[in-house]
Amino acid sequence: MELKLIIVASLLAFVAAESSDVLELTDADFDSKLATIDTALVMFYAPWCGHCKRLKPEFARASSDLKDNDPPVILVQVDCTEAGKDTCSRFGVTGYPTVKIFKGGELSSDYNGPREYNGIVKFMKSQVGPASKELKNLADTETFLAKNEVGVVYFGEGSLKAVFLKAADMMREKIRFAHVSDEETLKKYDAKDAIILFRPKVMSNKFEPDFVKYEGSEDKTEIKKFINENYHGLVGLRTTDTSGDFIAPLVIAYFNVDYVKNPKGTNYWRNRVLKVAQNYKSDFTFAVANNNDFAHEVEEFGLSYVSGEKPVVCAWDAQGQKFVMKDEFSLESFESFLKQLKAGELEPFVKSEPIPEIQGNVIVAVGKNFDEVVTNSGRDALVEFYAPWCGHCKKLTPIYDELGDAMAGEDVDIIKMDATANDVPPAFNVRGFPTLYWKPKSGKPVPYEGGRELDDFIKYIAQHATDELKGYTRSGKSTKDEL
């Protein structure tokens, strides 16, 4: 009986998750229905695709919000494996999900925004209507500013307005803009021909002003710079959507950040971070972040679990080195950590497997010995960054082992590193697996983009080695064959 109830509950939950205002279109009605919609966000998907399955519930939640927007945005999905094959082919869909923006039935652009509910809603709201909302009176202005998001408002009808509107159009995907010329409002905010950035009221604090006035020239690029520099304030709220805004040297306090359910508790700790951070605002960028949203990132600092009750502080310096505050959070311990971090007195944290006691012809690099065996070895090296689960890496393994044997006795090292278990130095940009780099003994690493058969590797190394190989000519031919 209990099992039946569980199954029924699961089915009901599934149906609820799938029920939405998303419009399902096919080859038969795609053009005719889309022509009646001013703005549509279309997801081309395959039912078996895992990424599509993850996006669909986010898409469904966003659809309900966006259909009620003014003006509305309609979310559409097309099954590329069945009734929508021709439509998907016509719009060049080769991977799933592919998401595109249509206006008046015509393709407007590819969708490059976030793929979670809040991000989709915010991004698509920015795509419709004017870039800056007209506020007709004081009540409109106060309603606009009451929302817990940054808002940038132009006050007046002066020469700065035209440039402001151009800047708004440039940044409409990220920022809420508005303009007002009502005399009562101008008087209330003591602003005329002025741009003011207002921070969310929920994040108000005594360490920085609730709003910042633009003092620059009539230049849209300068206005954009002003907004970017002041958007997050002294200690910004870092989310998965805004993580790219925060640039190293960066100090982050991870805890139970929740401005929806627990703004008071969130600000209790954020205010303590602010109190210390104000003394180091010219040295570091500061942020608070939810420990659960960034659990994987926290693990990269060697912290397997963060309760979130008190802040755990981690940092990156300008060179990308990582640091962890080991003491329990307090004003005193945080101050001491920042002081030592600024002075360069802290030892960086390096994620690393144990250094192998025995090495073979393919040398195993880990975080703790990478500089020794690669960066400062004084030898040429071919380095493979791999993931244990990667099929292409597994296919390469026997070839790479043969290459290690072939290069034994040469002034060249063949090296591999598990990039999922060890920190990869910033000079090696690893975005997929396997990634290979050639590191000359006295030069910067360069991506290896040659073939992946044994002969391809040998020819490349023979040609690029600092000193000619003993067993191969510069063209990669074995010297034994020439005897």
What pLDDT does 1 receive?
46
What pLDDT does 481 receive?
63
Please list, in sequence order, all residues whose beta carbon lies within 8 angstroms of the beta carbon of residue 260, skipping any fewer than 6 positions away: none
**Between vectors from CA 475 to CA 472 and to CA 477, what angle results, nearest 5°?**
45
**Cα(28)–Cα(413) distance, rounded to whole angstroms?**
60
What pLDDT does 169 receive?
85
Residue range 335-358, pLDDT digits in tens = 999 999 999 999 999 999 999 999
Residue range 170-223, pLDDT digits in tens = 888 889 999 999 999 999 999 999 999 999 999 999 999 999 999 999 999 999
Any catalytic annotation for residue 49?
Answer: yes
Residue 461 structure tokens: 């190394």
**Cα(278)–Cα(251) distance, rounded to whole angstroms?**
13
**Cα(259)–Cα(266) distance, rounded to whole angstroms?**
7
Among candidate residues 52, 80, 88, 314, the one labeled active-site is: 52
Please list, in sequence order, all residues whose beta carbon lies within 8 angstroms of the beta carbon of residue 47, skipping any fewer than 6 positions away: 79, 81
Among candidate residues 80, 88, 314, 393, the one labeled active-site is: 393
The Cβ of residue 457 has, within 10 Å, a number of other Cβ atoms equal to 24
The candidate with the shortest Cα–Cα distance to 100, out of 81, 122, 82, 127, is 127
- Residues of the chain predicted below pLDDT 50: 1-19, 483
What domains can you pick out in the chain, each with its CATH number?
Answer: 15-125 (3.40.30.10), 132-230 (3.40.30.10), 235-343 (3.40.30.10), 362-464 (3.40.30.10)
* DSSP tag of 371: I
What pLDDT does 298 receive?
94
Residue 457 structure tokens: 């590797």
Give the H or E element holding residue 284.
none
Residue 341 structure tokens: 């971090």
What pLDDT does 18 receive?
44
Any catalytic annotation for residue 88?
Answer: no
Where do runs of H (alpha helix) occur along 41-175? 50-67, 85-90, 117-125, 138-146, 160-171
What pLDDT does 13 receive?
38
What pLDDT does 482 receive?
56
